[in-house]
Amino acid sequence: MLDSLNALMLPALTNLNVDFDFWPWEDALFIDLRPLLEKTSALEVLDLDLHHLPLLSAHALPHLRTFIGDVQDSLTLCDANRPLHTLDLTLSFPDYDLTVTINDIADRTALLSRLARTPTLRRLFFVHGGRQDVGSNSGNRGYLPPSVFHQVATSCPDLTHLEICVDGSLQQIGSVLELLPNLVWIRLHLQHTTFASVNSYEVQRNLLTPSSRLRFIWLDDHLTLHMPPTLPRGNEVRSITFLVDQDQEGTHVLRPNPYRLPDLMRRYISKQLDI
């Protein structure tokens, strides 16, 4: 199968989605798609989760704008040689943080430095690679501290769309949003205690005031959202969405639940919500 993929000649291909299903997963270590990727020069969207994308030449994928895949693989692509606009990155087990591996050594800063070398980046989505252990028994795994959130913002100051999981209060988050003046869309996965205190006034004061261009705000209770389905959930609210509108005086106001949930999920999953 791999030989067949690499033998393809698709010079006009602009969108490539490759999904491998291996057991054991270690077998994927031997996958090398360089022959295909090096000659698919028109590619603009790459959806590929290998966790060990091989090094590509500086001339490969010169038109790539969107990458959907593992955070480790993004190191290969964020090298200032490609006009990357959107990164949809899966954070890996066991910590679901920004740690990557460089020469078999864990590195917590390499990704941030690569993001800083990608000035075209406008949309950044950090998505958890696991669900079964990111809930009630996961401790603080998966939550980025405010200091790391601050580093993300300083590395990518021109973001317009952001999804991130943060262990911090709305006030702490708001202080970081001041560094993202162009942000119009945000999805925040929050600690249960922070989410439980969310109300329109707190969102207006702590998120909208420091980031006045925001037009869409999506807040998740990260703990209950990712609990295993076998655990009782009760009737608790797990997500809140706000659309930012303007009143007759031109003041920005929050309008809760602007979309029905199915429509909201459809818009989000397709990443086509442009506010």
pLDDT by 10s per residue, the chain, length 275: 667 776 777 788 999 988 766 555 555 556 778 888 888 899 999 998 766 677 888 889 999 999 999 888 898 899 888 999 999 998 876 677 888 888 878 888 999 999 999 999 999 999 876 543 444 444 456 789 999 999 999 999 999 999 999 999 999 999 999 999 999 999 999 988 899 888 889 999 999 999 989 988 889 887 655 444 444 444 466 888 888 877 666 677 787 665 555 555 555 554 555 54
pLDDT at residue number 261:
56
Helix orientation angle between 146-155 and 170-177, rounded to the nearest 10 degrees: 20
CA–CA gap between residue 181 and residue 109 (Å, rounded)? 23
User: Which of 48, 134, 135 lies closest to 94, judged by CA?
Assistant: 134
Degrees (nearest 5) of the Cα angle 191, 67, 216?
A: 45
Domains in the chain (CATH in brackets) are: 2-269 (3.80.10)
pLDDT at residue number 183:
95
Contact 190, 221 (CB under 8 A): yes
pLDDT at residue number 227:
47
CA–CA gap between residue 152 and residue 53 (Å, rounded)? 23
Rg (alpha carbons) of the chain, rounded to whole number:
20
pLDDT at residue number 132:
39
CA–CA gap between residue 66 and residue 2 (Å, rounded)? 23
